[in-house]
A and B are shown apart, each in its own frame.
Chain A
Amino acid sequence: MPANLKLLQTSTFRLAATYLAVFAVSVGLVLGYVYWNTGLLLERQLEDTIEAEVQGLAEQYRTRGVGGLIETVERRSAQDSNSVYLLTNIRGARLAGNLQGLPPEATKGKSGWVEFSYAVVTVRGPQQHQARAFHVTLADGARLVVGRDVEERRKLAQIIRRTLFWALGLTLVLGVGGGLWMSRNFLTRVDAMTSTARSIMKGELSRRVALSGSGDELDRLAVSLNDMLDQIERLMGGMREVSSNVAHDLRTPLTRLRARLEGAIRSGNPDEQREALTETLEDADRLLQTFNALLSIARTEAGQAREGLAPMEIAPLIEEMAELYGPSAEEQGGTLTVQTAEGAHLHADRQLLAQALANLIDNALKYGAGPDGKPDITVAAAVDNGHVILSVSDHGPGIAEPDRARVLERFVRLDASRSKPGSGLGLSLVAGIVKLHQGQIALEDNAPGLTVKLILPRQLQGG
């Protein structure tokens, strides 16, 4: 698109042009009305004066006759250079006055208003002036014309009209020019944003929109955009980390699986092959479990499982989970104790909460054994200020403060040896489920051991 055309299409220019048009039309209407009304007023004043004078002269004619009238007209003609007078006899011959002859317009009818031009001699020589006059036919057929020279007024009106025209013209030129200038300013800044966006799309994720420092609406928009870009960069970073973790964590079992199959093909012993295939199947099942866990996390984080949310009582769920996992704890010589708040209700997905508790208890069984190697686990529910707090505590080594936020991420496992089975996804799924319930997850010191608290609102916001 040509640059000029782009300038004309900016919203700033369109706004300026619209405003300018409205402004010009309204100013033109107001001034035009004032001009027209003033002209009307001046004309009426003129006509009133002339009518009064004609009446006075007609009175003189009645009382003093033609002779008196001639005398008065001659005197006034000589006194006032701004007035025009003419008195003729019935045949149209001039008797008195400063007009040389009867203007052709004044011969029609008995009386009326006429406008005509007449010759005057000024210091700059003979000129044609405009006059407005009233003509009347007297009793004996004589004609009287009384008027004023309106040349000055005509010139003034012309000057005013010209001034108005130029003022409007100048307003339009300045307005269009100013609009273009403002649009160009605006366009420059928008173009800067666009080019930043383009380079970000090309992969320069660290680029940010420059601020003008004025704190205006464009700056505010730029600040929001930059915040959004920060968030996107963070998420992308997280995703990149997850993908590399996925790649790393899946490569190990896949390599093992492949090696086992290769060994089985080479061995040729049917019993060994059968054994290898069975083990491979178990490996494949574990891989599938990992994928399913990843999918579940993605779906809970995307909030797609919200349909399952319903009012439920927490105590039965806790007791059932304790009943399900109690034998596993006892198997290891430990205990699973329940502290439940009777009658505590909340809005939640029973299946997902069960899954979250299962993952937490599972972790406690795996990592929460005390120095004697026996896991003593407490599953508790408490009500606090519109929240239900579910907690799973153990007496194991706990998690050091700096690692607490990290273990919520996908594939993060603190035992570097990875001697215990697990995918490193359990707590990530718990965090996702808590987020879906608009709650918070807190990892605390159980002195000794770890307490994981799920702080869930009893009523969800926004459906």
Chain B
Amino acid sequence: MRILVIEDDREQAGWLIKGLHESGHVADHAADGEEGLTLARENVHDVLVVDRMLPRLDGLSVVRTLRAEGMRAPVLILSALSDVDEKVKGLRAGGDDYLAKPYAFSELLARIEGLTRRTSPEPQQTKLEACGLVMDLLARTVTRGGIDIPLQPREFKLLEYLMRNAGHVVTRTMLLENVWDYHFDPQTNVIDVHISRLRSKIDKGFEGEPLLQTVRGAGYSIRAR
């Protein structure tokens, strides 16, 4: 993936670009809003990561301008302002996701990869599959190796989100936001308990490596293959 990072703090930008390179992505860097606008207009990037506070032209104006010009690429806004209303402002300006500083790189990476999946046009799916685990979105059933697994509605939603992101890490914050629609910081292991319940249903008693894996320091992931 080719990613444009518009961030004025050299150290943070350098750290971010190095991390993206190591994760197999190509990253370009712009140090202020106007340079960012120029680079973004080349229209070669799959994802934009834009800091809110930028010299010369602030991040929200950059996003607003690009959206007005018809740019389609997903935008992740970074900001030191963590309030919900700040987040709403960012999304209204045309951002697709919002991440408050300081953030963990794993969280950022998970969200960037989540953004491109969200935008890649897929035919209307009725079935999700990962390593023999099959989710029927119409009948609301889950089977593994042909064996029916009964799930509560919330467990179904949780598994659906994990399976849509199969093979990628999703963080606890992403789960709380997307499955429960709460935007606060889960201070405790509340998400872990739900995950362990889900795990006992989809992994317990089945042969082979568990499907639902814990990624230390980052979150969870469903194996894609």
Partner-B contacts on A (CB < 8 A): 278, 281-282, 285, 288-289, 292-293, 295-296, 299, 304-305, 307-308, 320, 323-325, 327-328, 331, 349, 351, 354-355, 358-359, 362, 365, 426
Whole-angstrom CA separation of A352 from B193 in the bound complex: 23
Whole-angstrom CA separation of A289 from B186 in the bound complex: 10
- Known contacts A354-B184, A362-B187, A365-B188; A327 and B193 CB within 8 A of each other: yes
B216 touches A351 (CB 8 A): no
- Known contacts A278-B216, A281-B217, A351-B182; A328 and B188 CB within 8 A of each other: yes
Whole-angstrom CA separation of A323 from B190 in the bound complex: 11
A327 touches B84 (CB 8 A): no
Residues of B within 8 A of A293 (CB): 185, 187
A305 touches B185 (CB 8 A): no
- Known contacts A278-B217, A289-B185; A295 and B82 CB within 8 A of each other: yes
Q: Is B189 an interface residue (CB 8 A)?
A: yes
- Known contacts A281-B217, A320-B180, A351-B182; A308 and B187 CB within 8 A of each other: no
- Known contacts A292-B82, A304-B83; A327 and B197 CB within 8 A of each other: yes
Closest to A355 in B: B184
Whole-angstrom CA separation of A24 from B21 in the bound complex: 90
Whole-angstrom CA separation of A358 from B190 in the bound complex: 10
Whole-angstrom CA separation of A292 from B99 in the bound complex: 13
Interface SS of chain A: helix, strand, loop or mixed? Answer: helix
Q: Is B223 an interface residue (CB 8 A)?
A: no
Closest to B191 in A: A324
Residues of B within 8 A of A288 (CB): 102
- Known contacts A288-B102, A351-B182, A351-B184; A328 and B83 CB within 8 A of each other: no
Q: Which 3 A-B pairs have the closest CB atoms?
A: A355-B184, A307-B85, A327-B193
A362 touches B188 (CB 8 A): yes
Q: What is the distance, in angstroms, from A333's C-beta to the closest C-beta of chain B?
A: 13
A331 touches B193 (CB 8 A): yes
Closest to B182 in A: A354
Whole-angstrom CA separation of A299 from B83 in the bound complex: 8
Question: Which of B100, B154, B183, B189 lies in contact with A328, CB distance below 8 A?
Answer: B189
B104 touches A285 (CB 8 A): yes
